[in-house]
Structure 1
Amino acid sequence: KTLDIERCDLESRINNTTHHTDQNGLDRLIVRRGLPFTITLHLRSGSQFQAGVSTFRLIVEIGPLPKEQSGTKSTFSLTDSASKTAWSASTTSPPGNVVSLSVSSPPDVPIGLYSLTLDQGQKVKLGEFVLLFNPWCAKDAVYMEEERDRQEYVLSQAGLIYKGTTKRIKASPWTFGQFEPGMLDICLKLLDENPKYSSDADADCSGRRNPVYVTRVISAMINSNDDKGVLVGNWSGDYDDGVRPSHWTDSVAILHQWADNCCQRVRYGQCWVFAAVACTVSRALGIPCRVVTNFGSAHDTNSNLLIEFLYDEDGNDISDDSVWNFHVWVDNWMARPDLDAGYDGWQASDPTPQEKSEGVFCCGPVPLKAIKEGELNLKYDAPFVFAEVNADVVEYVKLTNGRMVKMGGSSMDVGHFISTKAVGSDERHDITHLYKHPEGSLQEREVYERAKHHNDLQQKGQEPGLKVKIKVSPDMDIGADFDVFAVIANNTEADKTCRVMFYARIVSYDGKPGANCGFIEDLTMEVPTGKGQRLPLRLEYVDYGDTIKSDRLIQLVLIVIESSPREFHKAKRTIVLENPDIAIKLLGEPRVNQKLSAQISLENPLPEPLQNCFFSVMGAGLTDGKILIQNVGTVGPKQEAKYTVEFTPTSIGSRTLTVDFDSDKLSNIKGYLNIEIKE
């Protein structure tokens, strides 16, 4: 007997809450695979449901050309209990005109937008729902055991990204905003815009059952190098036709701009922006994700696991390889059934376009265990990630006669303080031990040899000789003048006559040098046996202020050439100048759906005025998905820029208000305040 259906209630309010998707809203059905959800059929007067008498089938479909054999379509009838391996539905409703159905999905079906249809000879479309990965389901490939980990890596909409240098690591706030209005639809659109969907939509939709496949798609689509991806990378310093990468503080504005402009690529991003947007998309789809920073990150251009620095006799860098001051990527949590046992868990994935993988600019996912143990034959892109954290460095001087003279080398310059935000707090969590064995340990060298790229570097500084290093002051604030020091110690039994070059230059975070801002050239120095010399170099704001980048990095290079025998010594150090702090003070009690104010201020530390100063304020669940911008005009030396912002929190719980300050002379200044919103 057929049912005369008046309407279908997808019960999104109760289902979304049960499936941990209520932060997406309660007006549409969003569920996670492997967990039942309830729908209610309301029948017209005179129509009755009777168990065993009323027969019908349900059909779920995903994609434009769904097929049973690819798993993008499933047809199933009522059963007495839920199946754990196939789509199923059951009911315990008594006879009547209201039918409650429990629908269960397997934990390994494709994620995405589904249609739900009732078939009883005549088909009735019941509605649509979104199915996501389920870290709460033990049979799902993305299952995480600890609830506190799921709260951080799936549900948290704010985080910290680490930048700076190994000597000065700074946390910068970021709003991921994966549950902000429109974000889930944009993330699903991103999957549909990938070239694999265009070439074979059903095969692509079928592949979305696998978080490894989806992670590779995300990695490729966050950059726009060879598809309709989201971001354009730019490390040139010229951002006039777009947004300076350091200005972004959230993924929401970037993804909205991409989607609202017919998938036109957004200008511009650098590594932390690519990684943060990838984290947003991963968490939105249900894949646990964290943003990771590697300090001293190698970019090996010829895949020999060796970073070869080449200098001319004047100390100019003429290398192809590079070591970035820091580089940012993401880790995603998932099982790896495509590999041997033991490689489940965190997988590194890098959406910053650097090298091609299988013909596309993407990288990973590759198990952290494979990187740590030097298993470079495992998918995906293990050699590139291994080099980023474990390459050796060797330095040569190219003489004017063309001869190459080895100047130094180290196996300990790359892969330090690999950092991510700690679970449940704003502390930095060091995860270097997950990527590599301790530097200099027997295991670390054995792993390097296992990677079949062992080299015969001799470690400088292990034997008596001339020692060179650079020392700096503890406090180096932007706008100030300060000294740095070249230190030369003679541990030999003979006096040394040396030619010294000591210079400072602006550098970007990816290691590319800029203008000089301090120089001591061709100084001849006598260093007596058993003694040391200390040479100061004054760095003044008048010299670095006009050229320093938003990274606020200055590279110090010391080259010492012994006259007899002719030997080269080099020291290099990158310093980061301190920005002023942004002060944020709440004015009032933070309660949901009630206006709240915050007073924001920053003191200009420069000896000159700041022009075109403005604050940008954003917070998931605080500013209704919008960036609140206030131009505060000109701020004189040692004067304060001030802004009182008003906003209305829309959800209870812990929320993060992020603030960015920009001006003509100072930019990329970030601040944040954690706020507990009460009912």
Structure 2
Amino acid sequence: MATDGKFASIGEKCQVDLQYAANNKAHRTIEISEKRLIIRRGQSFNISVIFKDGFNPETERMEVAVVTGPDPKVKEGSKTVIPFTEELNERRWSAVISSVSKNELCMTISSSPRAIVGRYSLSLQHDYKDISYLLGNFVLLFNPWCAGDEVYLSSDVQRKEYVLNETGTIYYGGSDYICERDWNFGQFEEDILDICLNLLDNAPKYLRKPRHQHLKRRFSVQVARTVSAMVNSAYDKGILQGRWSSPYTDGVYPGKWSGSIAILRQWQKSNFQPVRYGQCWVFAAVTCTVLRCLGIPTRVVTNFDSAHDTDGNLTIDNYFNVEGDDIGGSADSVWNFHVWNECWMVRNDLDPGYDGWQVVDATPQEESDDTFCCGPASVKAIKDGELEYNYDAPFVFAEVNAQRVNWLMFADGTKMKMDVDVLNVGHCVSTKKCGKDEREDITHLYKYPDGSTEEAEIFKKAKIVIAAPPPPKTLKVSLKVNQPIYIGQTVSVSLVISNKSSEEKVCTVNFWAKKRKYDGCVEKGTIKKFKKEITIPAVKDKSIPLELSYQDYGIFPDMYYGMRLITYVTDKSPENNVAAMKDIGLLNPALTIKMLNYHAYVGEKVHVEISFTNPFALPLKKCFMTIEGNGLVENQPRVKFDDVKPNALAKVVCDFTPKKPGQRKLLVDIDCDLVQNVKGSLRIEVQKKN
């Protein structure tokens, strides 16, 4: 008999060929393994059995049994006995005999498109005797290629992107300086599948009621919700511990991660102790790995100027003193950006029309049903203001729709409303474009155009009262910065004061620049202060140029090099006092990566050159480079290279030996004493040598 895979001896009666390679190729899991059976539900697979003592189908009436989970029961669907029939049934477990001989029984088995996802055992038994032959084990995954599966996705291009693509792009920075970084999801590394299944087994609800919770694994909504809770470590043995401020000395700074594989392996190796540390994009990237591995179409989404509304009033109040310090008074915040996931699935628990993309967020922000998780929340429900729908729709709605109100507090206790801007929350909602290395703006999926009648109706439904802007004033102030600006370079700011009145104005201008983290927190110290009395002619503008040099700003608290600029202009008539605030971010230098070989082959060394320009008027020292890439590089090698002279071009050459064919992506990370987490990538087509 021709075999596909190795024979496995089953007692003394028979041998089985589970046809690992052929079945896994058909089920699009061949990248995971050729040594065990990994299939997708609602799709058939083939196996064959050889009986050493011969087999007579007339007398040996047989049937197949599949079992999953603790304490399996037929009535609950965790144990299924499958008789052989004339043809397969697409709606339930079924089996047919494809061929039979004196010694060999070949069969085709099809699983239910609503079967429980997870580990199974497969056995062959007599339908009239208490005799059973254990044929082997397999793993059953969700199936976006099966129309009967609730995660079915009709587009092959989308399935390739949101299920099969092992790399992706995560967007960060600010709404007016959007940056990107590549991530190695690595969902098809063989051990990652077992780690993902262990994640489900370690969920607190599963540990308390394993049989009951195991049955819920047939539903993508429940699996996604469990993953959302278990990727963070709040209240459980989840994968990642969050941290948003230094020190990070007892773990890894979140910006250092470039892929999920090292994180998941460390969690498994440590007996499920949380990996230190993660922030929103790391939580989202690991969530994407787990859900894609289990077969749920998933993408990573970034919301710029993202509100965190702790009290549910859909208003984010920020209070500042006249020195520009954030003086608290509210637990609400607006992050430069926040990253979550969207999963594609049917929502049978909601009214019709709310299937499709669902928000799932693993960053621990607020509790949901006594657990730090969020979603799945229908994106369509968010746009329609249907906030009563499961799960956590009000929280996600606030992230893209809340109003931000800034207040300036004076020493005497009085306060001035700096601005009321309903346009400054929920900007440039971004994800990687399907099939392309480009950014796609999907803001329109979450909200109607700002100021539209549709938006007004949604706000009315959500009981949002749009705050009135301050009355018109004869003075106006704005802050203008030319971007992009690279770390190490001077930031040029234009402070523009406009006199709208018919009289000359004598004003006092105050300006502060402070360092700001991406989660909205501003450092107490000031980078630079400026105060000056100026005269502005009637109906004229006055522009004041300011500069912030590297000597002024120096080292930042995180990898986003964020600044908050605040100005306050006083007039002799206090009712004309005005203030403005602007957040900006500096960028790392860009990497240029090129392959020195003409072609890349499996098993042969590839040489690449990485180059970048030192943006500092100082030398870069203690320079290291780390490379990563699924199928390209093992163990993330770290390479030291020479110091880089001021404003000079640095070139580094490294090599690696690809292990797998296909389109791969090399990820590069560079650290020096003055600049860290400089990242870049190169797509490489790896071929098999003829």
TM-score normalised by the chain length of structure 1: 0.96
Measured against aligned partners, the alpha-carbon deviations of 1:590-637 in whole angstroms (never above 9, x if no partner) come to: 12232212122333222223333211111112114x312212254342
Question: What residue identity is the alignment partner of 1:650?
Answer: K
Question: CA 1:69–1:563 in structure 2 vs 1: closer, same or farther (change >3 Å)?
Answer: farther
Query: What is aligned with 1:33?
Result: 41
Partners of 1:420 and 1:315 lie apart in 2 by 34
Matched AA of 1:572:
M
Question: Residue 248 of structure 2 corresponds to which residue in structure 1?
Answer: 239
**Conserved in 2, the CA contact under 8 Å of 1:351 and 1:363?**
yes
Change (3 A) 1:515 1:606: farther
1:600 aligns with 2:610: yes
CA drift of 1:199 comes to 0.5
Alignment match, 1:156: 165
Cα distance between partner residues in 2 of 1:73 and 1:493: 85
Which residue of 625, 647, 662 corresponds with 2:656? 647
Other structure's SS at 1:356 match: coil
Partner of 1:498: 507
Q: Is the 8 A contact 2:325 2:524 kept in 1?
A: no
Which residue type is aligned with residue 485 of structure 2?
A: M
SS at structure 1 position matched to 2:100: coil
| Matched letter for residue 100 of structure 2 | P
Shift of 1:516: 4.4
Comparing 476-485 with 35-44, greater Cα deviation is found at: 476-485
Query: Quick one: distance in 1 between partners of 2:507 and 2:309?
Result: 33
Residue 89 of structure 1 pairs with residue 95 of structure 2: yes
Matched, 1:380 2:391: yes
**More off after superposition, 395-404 vs 183-192:** 395-404
Q: Are 2:446 and 1:431 equivalent residues in the alignment? A: no
What CA distance in whole angstroms lies between the structure 2 residues aligned with 1:443 and 1:217? 34
Instruction: Give the Å deviation of 1:172.
Output: 0.7
Whether the aligned pair in 1 keeps the contact of 2:246 and 2:557 (CA below 8 Å) is: no
Structure 1 Cα separation of the partners of residues 254 and 622 of structure 2: 18
For the residues of structure 1 that align with 2:244 and 2:681, how far apart are their CA atoms? 26
Give the AA of the match of 1:117: S
1:510 partner letter: D
Letter in 2 for 1:381: D
SS at 1:584's partner residue? strand
Q: What is residue 397 of structure 1 aligned with on the other side?
A: 408
CA contact (8 A) 1:60 1:116 kept: yes
Would you say the 8 A contact 1:630–1:643 is kept in 2? no
Residue type at the aligned position of 2:31: Q
**Residue type of the partner of 1:418?**
V
Per the alignment, residue 7 of structure 2 pairs with none
In structure 1, how many angstroms separate the alpha carbons of the residues matched to 2:650 and 2:236? 42
Q: Give the C-alpha shift of residue 559 in structure 1.
A: 2.0
Asked if the contact 2:515–2:523 (Cα under 8 Å) also holds between the matched residues in 1, the reply is yes
Deviation, 1:567, is 4.2
Query: Could you tell me how far apart the structure 1 residues matched to 2:322 and 2:488 are?
Result: 33
Displacement of 1:3 in angstroms is 12
- The one-letter code sitting in structure 2 at the alignment partner of 1:390 is N
How many angstroms does 1:509 deviate by? 1.1
- 1:47 aligns to 2:54 (yes or no): yes
Verify the 8 A CA contact 1:70 1:202 in the aligned structure 2: no
Kindly report which structure 2 residues correspond to 1:172-183, keeping only aligned pairs within 5 A, or say none. 172-183=181-192
**How many angstroms does 1:188 deviate by?**
0.8
SS of the residue corresponding to residue 618 of structure 2 reads coil
**1:191 maps to which of 195, 200, 206:** 200
3-state SS of the aligned residue for 2:600?
Answer: coil
The 3-state SS of whatever aligns with 2:601 is coil
Does the 8 Å CA contact 2:528/2:548 hold for their aligned counterparts? no
Which aligned pairs between 1:159-558 and structure 2 lie closer than 5 A?
159-319=168-328, 320=330, 321-455=332-466, 457-459=467-469, 463=472, 465-514=474-523, 516=525, 518-547=527-556, 549-558=558-567
Secondary structure of the structure 1 residue equivalent to 2:604: coil
Map Cα deviations across residues 424-448 of structure 1 (whole Å, 9 max, x no partner): 1111111000011111211112211
1:216 and 1:49 map into 2 onto residues whose CA distance is 49
Most deviating of 581-590 and 354-363: 581-590
| Secondary structure, counterpart of 1:103 in structure 2 | strand
Equivalent residue letter for 2:452: S
Secondary structure in 1 matching 2:374: coil
Deviation by residue 1:382-417 (Cα, 9 ceiling, x = unmatched): 111011111111222333333443332011001111
- How far apart are the structure 2 equivalents of 1:561 and 1:308? 22
Instruction: Provide the aligned C-alpha RMSD in A.
Output: 1.9
In the TM superposition, residue 640 of structure 1 has moved relative to its aligned partner by 4.9
Q: Deviations over 1:224-280 (max 9, x none)?
A: 011000111111132111111111100111111111111111111111011000000
Is 2:63 the counterpart of 1:63? no
Aligned position for 2:4 = none
Q: Which residue of 2 aligns with 1:13?
A: 21
Distance 1:22 1:658 in 2: 24
**Residues 78-111 of structure 1: CA deviation (Å, up to 9, x unaligned):** 1222223322211131332111111111101111
Matching residue of 2:121: 115
* Residue of structure 1 equivalent to 2:621: 611
Query: Secondary structure of 1:383's partner?
Result: helix
Q: Distance in 2 between matches of 1:349 and 1:465?
A: 47
Letter in structure 2 aligned against 1:351: A
Identity percentage of aligned residues: 44
Listed one character per residue, the Cα deviations across residues 483-535 of structure 1 (whole Å, up to 9, x for unaligned) are: 21111111123333333221111111111112645433443333332011112
Alignment-mate amino acid for residue 64 of structure 1? P
Deviations 1:530-579 (A, max 9, x none): 01111222101112123453112222112223330334422222222232
Q: Which amino acid aligns with 1:431?
A: I
Q: Distance in 2 between matches of 1:3 and 1:221?
A: 39
User: Residues 497 and 49 from structure 1, CA distance in 2 versus in 1: closer, same or farther, beyond 3 angstroms?
Assistant: farther
Residue 494 of structure 1 aligns with an amino acid whose one-letter code is: E
Equivalent residues of 2:240, 2:274 under 8 A apart: yes
The corresponding residue for 1:621 is 631
Q: Distance in 2 between matches of 1:181 and 1:76?
A: 29
How far apart in 1 are the matches of 2:398 and 2:649?
45
Q: Is the 8 A contact 2:417 2:470 kept in 1?
A: no
Distance 1:354 1:561 in 2: 39
Question: Which is further off, 606-615 or 304-313?
Answer: 606-615
For 1:157 and 1:487, how far apart are their aligned partners in 2? 48
Higher mean C-alpha displacement, 242-251 vs 471-480: 471-480
* TM-score normalised by length of structure 2: 0.94
Contact 2:24 2:38 in 1 (8 A): yes
Q: 1:254 to 1:591 in 2, by over 3 A?
A: same
**Is the alpha carbon distance of 1:633 and 1:71 closer, same or farther for their aligned partners in structure 2, counting shifts above 3 Å?**
farther
The corresponding residue for 2:30 is: 22
Residue 304 of structure 1 aligns to a residue whose secondary structure is: coil
Residue identity opposite 1:622 in structure 2:
L
1:80 alignment counterpart: 86
Contact 1:448-1:454 at 8 Å conserved across structures: yes
Match of 1:92, SS state, is strand
Amino acid aligned to 2:86: D
Q: How many residues align?
A: 673
Q: Greater shift after overlay, 321-330 or 335-344?
A: 321-330
Are the counterparts in 1 of residues 100 and 106 from structure 2 also a CA contact under 8 Å?
Answer: no
Q: 1:108 to 1:146 in 2, by over 3 A?
A: same
Once the two structures are superposed, residues 260-319 of structure 1 have per-residue CA deviations (whole angstroms, 9 ceiling, x without a partner) of: 111111111111011000000010000000000111111112111111112223332223
Structure 2: stretches of 5+ with no match in the other structure: 1-9
